[in-house]
């Protein structure tokens, strides 16, 4: 990584504030377009101060920056589903399970719904790619203010009182938005939109995690009096993410509930953590004896900004400045995943910055197209307006078990397809219509990521391959070649079909809602019955991947 | 030399952060919201006013700043390269 401590030149095309998930992606795209781009980061090393879950959902990888999709980012474990524990009475072990969100065999675990990762390792990798594209990175540099020149923002001022002049400032500072507030673009978020997450990282033997968790996340929900998942406001939850050889446990809670009093969160979160580790049967029996605490941390993030219409419509641009990711309030209101939206907004901001600079117009009226594209992005809009997590509170208040289960099923179970199908169909068809060969890149991404994960090796250089099953690997190579050929031959037809289906995407959610009561039970029954039967196929796919020459997975 | 605490493993604090969060006693009404949400135990109430005991265990989460209805808390980042850091976020 090239780190520039001191550069005399303080004029550039684009300044990016914050070298996190979004900042690195935006900076790289600007540099790739030939713009002189400087990225400023307040921490000593990249990623030192980024705290997260973290499952990055599949849509971030498939529809986000190409260098991530086609690269080798460090991941901790693929995710093939969520097991929801609905805790009604912990003392009497009255706990229901909703594990309907699960990638079926033989696709699991290779074709996953997301990837778990450590923020620091992932952001370091992203920043390395940005620096390789020519971005100048300056760490240990806190941006304090923007430069105003004739009313427009023309760069930033660092804590060392250094002025870095730029045509565009991309603000990727994360959710607190101190710079955006100072620049007068947006306001401080109210506490009922902010969740305080208390995070524990436990060491655990990889073999135990493989056996106990496999590739599934475990989420806990419950009645308030169970004191398991903090009950004090919208947005409570307790989530356990299996990593390679560690577990990530997060409890989070809104700072305030609908203008009510602020609770003693410090005491509550501590109490709930003690209670769950001592009482939840699977934690107590299977996890507790096998773990040691590696790390503990906490952070606040803007979970419900998107649900407040006024906040959602707060400006995300001004003359000479664009806000992306958490700084623009783009956190998912249900799964609390903000990385995909940070990536999508980063790419849109970079595109707009490139256009603005080439048109010599960085005025707010030109930059408005950034906001238009954010509002037209199907996944961003779905992510920031989903209500199941928010509504969970009402189900808990009313002690309405049916409602509670419905929210859980629709938020973190199969029911999500009643809300997410339109957005997913729109974006899939959009990408396929642009270039059907993208399908080959998506499939190779899944195979490459799995290969990398298996060997815990995230570079471009090959590694020692297992000799056995070599034939399997060769067969996979032929399959990929055949797939490329089919995509090539049928490309015009695929494009035509995608184009014809695109206008119908709007009907996907209503159709899903209509068909769901009939189709879902049949599907779930089928999956339960066939999962075991299809397991050998899944194993064959895995064996073929790990026996392959990794160069066949290159995009 | 970075500082660490047994009860908060996996996190280090680089010295030199200084007083990057401050309370204005004129504006503080002693509601203790900041005390209640700070997982680092950074605040205490002394003579009906919030006082920052120490920012040694501050994770820069901003919770105190968000819950202060009276804008008594000024929140900024510590100087570049100082404050908390972790590899496990
Ligand atoms: C506990 C928790 C769990 C989460 N779980 C998930 C999850 O499972 N999946 C998911 O997708 N997302 C999750 N998120 C959200 C995700 O972490 C964020 O949405 C994502 O990090 C946002 O990316 P960003 O680039 O906008 O900001 P960040 O990644 O936060 O990066 C901002 C960067 O800017 C730097 N910076 C800030 N201010 C300045 C300044 N003034 N000068 C210089 N540098 C500055 C910071 O040090 C940081 O490096 C979670 C968040 C939390 C807190
Ligand atoms: S939250 Fe604000 S007003 Fe209340 S005690 Fe803390 S500083 Fe004072
Ligand atoms: S920022 Fe967070 S950790 Fe620091 S003093 Fe405020 S509440 Fe405590």
Report the C-alpha gap between A297 and B88 in whole angstroms.
9
Q: Which residue has the higher pLDDT, A10 or A340?
A: A340
Q: How many helices (DSSP H) and strands (DSSP E) are in chain A?
A: 19, 18
CB contact under 8 Å between A297 and B11, yes or no, is yes
Question: Looking at the predicted structure, is the pLDDT value of residue A231 above 80?
Answer: no
Question: Looking at the predicted structure, is the pLDDT value of residue A497 above 50?
Answer: yes
Question: Looking at the predicted structure, is the pLDDT value of residue A232 above 60?
Answer: no
- Given B33, B61, B81, which is nearest A140 (Cβ)? B81
Other CB atoms within a 10 A radius of the CB of residue A324 amount to 34
Count Cβ atoms within 10 A of the Cβ of residue A443 and give its class: 0-12 exposed, 13-18 middle, 19 or more buried.
middle
Report the C-alpha gap between A52 and A60 in whole angstroms.
16
> Where do the H-state alpha helices sit in A309-460?
309-312, 339-358, 364-376, 378-383, 388-397, 401-412, 417-434, 438-455
Q: What is the pLDDT, as a whole number, of residue A328?
A: 97
Q: CATH 3.50.50.60 occupies which residues in chain A?
A: 12-73+117-187+314-376
Output the CA A551–ligand 1 centroid distance in Å. 32
Closest Cα of chain A to B24: distance in Å? 18
Q: How far is CA A142 from CA A15, A161, A222, A366, in A?
A: 13, 10, 41, 28
Residue nearest to atom 4 of ligand 2 (CA): B31
What average pLDDT does this structure show over A446-457? Answer: 95
| Mean model confidence pLDDT for chain A | 92
Question: Looking at the predicted structure, is the pLDDT value of residue A535 above 60?
Answer: yes
Per-residue pLDDT band for A6 (boundaries 50, 70, 90) equals very low
Query: Using one digit for the tens of pLDDT, what is the confidence trace for B60-88?
Result: 999 999 999 999 999 999 999 999 999 99
Report the C-alpha gap between A385 and A280 in whole angstroms.
32
Q: What is the CATH number of domain A77-115+191-304?
A: 3.30.9
Question: Looking at the predicted structure, is the pLDDT value of residue A469 above 70?
Answer: no
Report the C-alpha gap between A331 and A175 in whole angstroms.
9
Per-residue pLDDT band for A316 (boundaries 50, 70, 90) equals very high
What average pLDDT does this structure show over A442-450? Answer: 97
Query: Using one digit for the tens of pLDDT, what is the confidence trace for A201-221?
Result: 999 999 999 999 999 999 998
Question: Which tokens belong to A109?
Answer: 């675990």
- Given A120, A121, A293, which is nearest B9 (Cβ)? A293
Cβ within 8 Å of residue A446, ≥6 positions away: A110, A111, A112
Output the CA A340–ligand 1 centroid distance in Å. 11
Report the C-alpha gap between B32 and A198 in whole angstroms.
20
Query: Using one digit for the tens of pLDDT, what is the confidence trace for A337-371?
Result: 999 999 999 999 999 999 999 999 999 999 999 99
Question: Looking at the predicted structure, is the pLDDT value of residue A131 above 60?
Answer: yes
Percentage of residues of chain A with pLDDT beyond 90: 81
Q: CATH 3.30.9 occupies which residues in chain A?
A: 77-115+191-304
Query: Using one digit for the tens of pLDDT, what is the confidence trace for A76-98?
Result: 999 999 999 998 888 888 999 99
Closest Cα of chain B to A255: distance in Å? 7
Q: Which ligand is nearest to the CA of A26?
A: 1
Report the C-alpha gap between A477 and A483 in whole angstroms.
10
CB contact under 8 Å between A196 and B59, yes or no, is no
Contacts of B72 in chain A (CB under 8 A): none
pTM: 0.96
Q: How far is CA A474 from the centre of its chain?
A: 33
Report the C-alpha gap between B84 and B62 in whole angstroms.
13
Closest Cα of chain B to A118: distance in Å? 6
For testing the chain B interface, which of A42, A54, A118, A250 should be mutated: the one with the most B CBs within 10 Å?
Answer: A42
Q: What is the pLDDT, as a whole number, of residue A4?
A: 46
- Given B38, B39, B77, which is nearest A42 (Cβ)? B77
Q: What is the CA radius of gyration of chain A?
A: 23
Contacts of B62 in chain A (CB under 8 A): 176, 194, 300
What average pLDDT does this structure show over A57-86? Answer: 97
Query: Using one digit for the tens of pLDDT, what is the confidence trace for B5-44?
Result: 999 999 999 999 999 999 999 999 999 999 999 999 999 9
Architecture of domain B28-76 in CATH?
Answer: 2-Layer Sandwich (3.30)
Q: Which residue has the higher pLDDT, A475 or A189?
A: A189
Identify whether the C-beta of residue A23 lies closer than 8 Å to the C-beta of residue A177: no
CB contact under 8 Å between B80 and A43, yes or no, is yes
Strands ordered across the beta sheet of A195-203: A94-102, A81-89, A216-222, A237-242, A246-254, A195-203, A292-301
Q: What is the pLDDT, as a whole number, of residue A237?
A: 74
Per-residue pLDDT band for A431 (boundaries 50, 70, 90) equals very high
Percentage of residues of chain A with pLDDT beyond 70: 95
Q: What is the pLDDT, as a whole number, of residue A147?
A: 97
The secondary structure of A418-469 as a DSSP string is HHHHHHHHHHHHHHHHH-TTHHHHHHHHHHHHHHHHHHT--SSS--PPPSTT
CATH 3.50.50.60 fits A12-73+117-187+314-376, yes or no: yes
Query: Using one digit for the tens of pLDDT, what is the confidence trace for A255-306?
Result: 998 888 898 999 989 988 988 889 899 999 999 999 999 999 999 999 999 9
Question: Looking at the predicted structure, is the pLDDT value of residue A461 above 60?
Answer: no
Task: Write down the domain spans for chain B.
Answer: 28-76
Contacts of A294 in chain B (CB under 8 A): 9-10, 88
Identify whether the C-beta of residue A336 lies closer than 8 Å to the C-beta of residue A195: yes
Which range has the worst mean pLDDT, A289-293, A332-336, A505-509? A332-336
Q: What is the pLDDT, as a whole number, of residue A3?
A: 43
Q: What is the pLDDT, as a whole number, of residue A77?
A: 98
**Does the bond joining A54 to the residue before it have cis omega, within 30 degrees of 0?**
yes
For A222-258, b/e burial (b = at least 16 CB within 10 A) is bbeebbbbbbbbbbbbbbbbbbbbbbbbbbbbbbbbe
Q: What is the pLDDT, as a whole number, of residue A275?
A: 86
Which range has the worst mean pLDDT, A134-143, A251-260, A402-411? A251-260
């Amino acid at each position: 990584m090239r780190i520039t401590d001191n550069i005399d030149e303080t004029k550039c095309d684009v300044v990016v504030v914050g070298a996190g998930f979004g900042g690195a992606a935006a900076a790289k795209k600007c540099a790739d377009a030939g713009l002189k781009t400087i990225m400023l980061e307040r921490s000593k090393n990249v990623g030192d101060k980024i705290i997260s879950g973290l499952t990055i959902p599949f849509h971030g990888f498939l529809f986000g920056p190409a260098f991530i999709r086609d690269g080798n980012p460090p991941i901790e474990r693929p995710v093939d589903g969520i097991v929801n524990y609905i805790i009604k009475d912990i003392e009497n072990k009255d706990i229901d399970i909703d594990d309907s969100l699960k990638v079926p065999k033989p696709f699991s675990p290779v074709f996953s719904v997301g990837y778990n990762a450590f923020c620091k390792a992932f952001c370091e990798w992203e920043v390395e790619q940005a620096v390789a594209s020519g971005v100048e990175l300056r760490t240990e540099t806190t941006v304090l203010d923007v430069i105003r020149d004739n009313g427009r923002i023309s760069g930033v001022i660092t804590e060392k009182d250094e002025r870095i002049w730029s045509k565009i400032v991309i603000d990727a500072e994360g959710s607190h938005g101190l710079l955006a507030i100072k620049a007068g673009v947006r306001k401080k978020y109210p506490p009922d939109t902010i969740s305080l997450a208390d995070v524990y990282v436990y060491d655990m033997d990889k073999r135990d995690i493989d056996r106990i968790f496999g590739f599934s996340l475990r989420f806990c929900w419950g009645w308030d009096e169970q004191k398991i998942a903090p009950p004090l406001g919208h947005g409570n939850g307790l989530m356990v993410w299996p990593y390679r050889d560690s577990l990530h446990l997060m409890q989070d809670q809104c700072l305030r509930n609908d203008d009510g009093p602020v609770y003693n969160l410090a005491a509550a979160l501590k109490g709930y953590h003690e209670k769950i580790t001592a009482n939840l049967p699977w934690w107590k029996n299977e996890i507790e004896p096998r773990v040691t605490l590696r790390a503990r941390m906490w952070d606040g993030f803007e979970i419900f900004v998107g649900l407040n219409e006024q906040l959602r419509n707060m400006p995300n641009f001004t003359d000479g400045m664009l806000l992306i990711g958490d700084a623009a309030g783009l956190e998912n209101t249900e799964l609390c995943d903000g990385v995909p939206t940070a990536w999508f907004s980063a790419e849109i901001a970079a595109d707009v910055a490139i256009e603005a600079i080439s048109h010599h117009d960085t005025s707010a009226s030109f930059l408005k197209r950034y906001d238009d594209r954010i509002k037209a992005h199907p996944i961003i809009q779905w992510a920031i307006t989903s209500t199941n997590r928010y509504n969970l509170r009402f189900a808990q208040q009313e002690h309405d078990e049916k409602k509670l289960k419905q929210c859980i099923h629709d938020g973190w179970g199969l029911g999500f397809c009643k809300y997410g199908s339109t957005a997913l169909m729109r974006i899939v068809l959009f990408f396929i219509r642009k270039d059907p060969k993208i399908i080959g890149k998506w499939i190779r991404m899944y195979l490459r990521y799995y290969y990398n994960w298996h060997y815990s090796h995230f570079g471009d250089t090959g590694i020692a391959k297992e000799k056995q099953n070599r034939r399997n690997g060769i067969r996979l190579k032929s399959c990929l070649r055949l797939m490329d050929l089919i995509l090539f031959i049928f490309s015009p037809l695929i494009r035509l079909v995608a184009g014809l289906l695109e206008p119908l995407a709007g009907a996907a959610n209503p159709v899903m809602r209509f068909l769901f009561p009939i189709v879902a039970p049949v599907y779930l029954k089928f999956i339960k019955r066939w999962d075991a039967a299809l397991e050998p196929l899944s194993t064959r796919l895995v064996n073929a991947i790990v026996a392959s020459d990794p160069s066949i997975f290159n995009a | 030399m970075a500082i660490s605490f047994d009860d908060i493993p996996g996190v280090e604090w680089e010295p030199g952060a200084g007083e990057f969060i401050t309370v204005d006693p004129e504006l503080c009404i002693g509601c203790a919201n900041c005390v209640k949400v700070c997982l680092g135990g950074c605040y205490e109430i002394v003579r009906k006013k919030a006082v920052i005991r120490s920012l040694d265990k501050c994770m820069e989460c901003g919770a105190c700043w968000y819950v202060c209805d009276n804008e008594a808390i000024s929140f900024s980042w510590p100087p570049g390269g100082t404050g908390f850091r972790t590899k496990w976020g």
